[in-house]
Chains A and B, each alone.
Chain A
Amino acid sequence: KQEVTQIPAALSVPEGENLVLNCSFTDSAIYNLQWFRQDPGKGLTSLLLIQSSQREQTSGRLNASLDKSSGRSTLYIAASQPGDSATYLCAGMYSGGGADGLTFGKGTHLIIQP
């Protein structure tokens, strides 16, 4: 059974700090891994998608890495801002073509203090 775990469940840091969110997955036969952002009462916004053949992806202040051998992914946020406050979800896809859907972690609730 595929499982995705995110640590920590919650994180509060002062504005301006760099931070790392962690995600671990049990099955190394992962097809791709995505990081999403979820704001209260809103849907999910895709941040970064890493294919299994890739090691990392970058978008602005965000950098996501994927290490299949250790079953880990990290999301690095540089120079955090209050607008980054949200819940960050990690999700793995284990079959190409969309079958089985995404397997999500429970998320890390991030608060950036002004």
Chain B
Amino acid sequence: NAGVMQNPRHLVRRRGQEARLRCSPMKGHSHVYWYRQLPEEGLKFMVYLQKENIIDESGMPKERFSAEFPKEGPSILRIQQVVRGDSAAYFCASSPPLDPDTQYFGPGTRLTVL
């Protein structure tokens, strides 16, 4: 059973471009979480999704950030018009439907904005 997969592992964007980060949860997992780790900071919760539903987006910036988890395919975290302050490691975690309290983390995507 493959773990949580994220791609790309490293992403470089120039200011103003769009960044798309993908997360494939573990097989059978229907819950996905996104976290952001800024340099020298702890991980911060961004959003919690189930298939086709956003359950909690209280940690998402109000502008430029969006997330989806479609019925088919990976979860996508989309950042529009990136700025240098968006440079961070973005981690995805998934959990199974019967144990939503246990999260399995992916390796992360390291976004660098030039």
Contacts and interface: CB of A to CB of B under 8 A. Distances in A.
Contact of B42 (A43, A46, A89, A98): A89
A42 interface: yes
Interface of B: 4, 31, 33, 35, 40-46, 48, 55-56, 58-59, 91, 93, 95, 100-108, 110
Interface stretch (A53-61, A63-71, A76-84, A99-107): A99-107
A46 B102 contact: yes
Interface residues on A, range: 20 to 34
Interface of A: 4, 31-32, 36, 41-46, 49, 89, 91, 93, 96-107
Nearest to B108: A43
B91 to A, nearest CB: 6
Contacts of A102: 33, 35, 43, 45, 103
Nearest to A45: B105
Contacts of B40: 106
